[in-house]
């Protein structure tokens, strides 16, 4: 499974730590390749990562900004993307298992404990997508709306 990762300037340090951690765990990680600067804008990173995930079957994405909120909002504008802003392991689990999320947004200034961030990311990666009928129905309703609008 391919995992794309991207961040704005506020997430750069955390992104570097996560890339190292995930590569040490033999995961196929690809930085989306946009350069960071003190004046970069999070939507650019979210849109590019969202397009990469949307165009790569079975892939996931990790976005990092100061709060995780902006990245999540922007990523959710990309067709085929369902992004959860996660500040807990439960958020990551439910985002993937209940809502079929394929991208996770982390706030580098919200969740500052690197061990918790690793646990959140591990949970997101290893959790299976929705398999209960009620969750599948809800995700399909979102997909249908997205395809019609």
Contact (Cβ atoms closer than 8 angstroms) between residue 97 and residue 128: yes
Number of Cβ atoms within 10 Å of the Cβ of 68: 26
Query: Of the listed 7, 9, 83, 98, which one is catalytic?
Result: 98
Ramachandran bin of 26, using left for φ above 0, alpha for ψ from -120 to 50, beta for the remaining angles: left
Q: Is 65 a catalytic residue?
A: yes
Q: Of the residues 7, 65, 83, 101, which is catalytic? A: 65
98 is catalytic: yes
Active site residues: 65, 98
């Amino acid at each position: 499974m391919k995992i794309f990762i991207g961040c704005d300037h506020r997430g750069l340090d955390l992104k570097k730590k996560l890339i190292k951690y995930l590569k040490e765990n033999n995961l196929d990680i690809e930085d989306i390749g946009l350069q960071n600067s003190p004046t970069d804008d999070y939507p650019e990173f979210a849109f590019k990562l969202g397009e990469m995930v949307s165009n790569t079957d079975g892939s996931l994405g990790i976005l990092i900004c100061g709060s995780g909120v902006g990245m999540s909002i922007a990523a959710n504008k990309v067709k085929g993307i369902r992004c959860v802003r996660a500040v807990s392991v439960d958020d990551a689990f439910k985002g993937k298992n209940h809502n079929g999320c394929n991208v996770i947004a982390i706030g580098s200034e919200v969740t500052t404990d690197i061990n918790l961030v690793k646990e959140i990311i591990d949970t997101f990666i290893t959790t299976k997508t929705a398999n209960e009928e009620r969750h599948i129905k809800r995700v399909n309703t979102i997909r249908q709306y997205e395809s019609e609008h």
